[in-house]
Chain A
Amino acid sequence: MKIPARHRQGITILEPKGKITIGVGDVALREAVHEALEAGSTKILINLKDVSTIDSSGIGELVSAYTSVTNRGGALRLLHLPPKVQDILQITQLVTVFEVLDDEEEAVASFAD
């Protein structure tokens, strides 16, 4: 499964769908972020609107992506968190790490700051 990516104003927007779980979607997310970084993009927005399930492995990939991007001086932000994903980010206290937005226009504008 390859994660669809599109580009707006120098920002790579990744749009995973379905599961980001161990063996199903976690590797695809890692590859998509790696591909974006290799292409020179350091502004990455992950739209989670169509993600149905995430587990600790998927959360681990989000954290790893965040670290990789910020280590390169970039920014990784999350868009449209479904309630189940929001719940897991609360439990793991990663809501304190990720910048989460609900509106794509605002999210795109936030990278200009």
Chain B
Amino acid sequence: MMKSEPKVHVEVESRLENVELVQIAIESSLAQLDLSEDDAHQIGTSIREAVANAIKHGNRGDVSKLVKVELGIDNGDLLIRVHDQGVGFDEDGVPNPLEPENLLRRNGRGILLMKQYMDQIEYTFQPENGTVLEMRKELAVLRSNSAKQQEEEKQ
């Protein structure tokens, strides 16, 4: 779980057009971090995939259910949590999109992209409280700021 308090909260109804809205909101927050173009692309893509999955598969498009995204910094890492109100899924049951028989499937590549672009992703399934996806990415710019802060605190 996120040790420090999240810095940014975004909460939307389960409508696919909100994927774009969440990404715009999060990207405007991330713009302050002066990320490299690659990091911004990788984080933006991961958030987009996570929110789309939460809306489509987690909440099954039920607009009465919400998707909540939290963004924070923990020990110099960027932490993103995406909550939905669905019943979860069997992670082992997700077909591997890289298997030859799955290469030409239309769907099923979102988790692969998140795993590739983030350093760690972990699902927590809570029977009464939905699913939480936590993603972590080490960012040089955050590590450097964190080290500076610790140095200042020592002085």
Chain A residues proximal to chain B, CB less than 8 Å: 21-24, 53, 55-57, 59-61, 63-64, 66-67, 84, 88, 91-94, 96-97
Contacts and interface: CB of A to CB of B under 8 A. Distances in A.
Indicate the size class of the contact surface on chain B. Answer: 20 to 34
A67 B20 CA distance: 28
A55 B98 contact: no
Contacts of A96: 103
B46 to A, nearest CB: 10
A84 B46 CA distance: 13
Q: Mostly helix, strand, loop or mixed at chain B's interface?
A: helix
B17 A23 contact: yes
Given A22-B19, A93-B98, A55 B106 contact: no
B20 A91 contact: no
A97 B41 contact: no
25 contacts: A21-B20, A21-B48, A22-B48, A22-B52, A23-B17, A23-B20, A24-B20, A55-B45, A55-B52, A56-B49, A56-B107, A56-B108, A57-B52, A59-B109, A60-B107, A61-B106, A63-B103, A63-B104, A84-B41, A91-B113, A91-B116, A92-B97, A92-B113, A97-B103, A97-B104
Contact of B105 (A22, A24, A63): A63
B112 A92 contact: yes
Given A55-B49, A56-B110, A57-B52, A23 B97 contact: no
B48 A55 contact: yes
Contacts of B48: 21-22, 55
A20 to B, nearest CB: 12
A64 B109 CA distance: 13
A93 B103 contact: yes
Q: Mostly helix, strand, loop or mixed at chain A's interface?
A: helix
B16 interface: yes
Nearest to A65: B106
A64 B98 contact: no
Nearest to B19: A22
A73 to B, nearest CB: 16
A66 B19 CA distance: 26
A111 to B, nearest CB: 21
Contacts of A93: 98, 103
A23 B112 contact: no
Contacts of A55: 45, 48-49, 52, 110, 113
Contacts of A61: 106
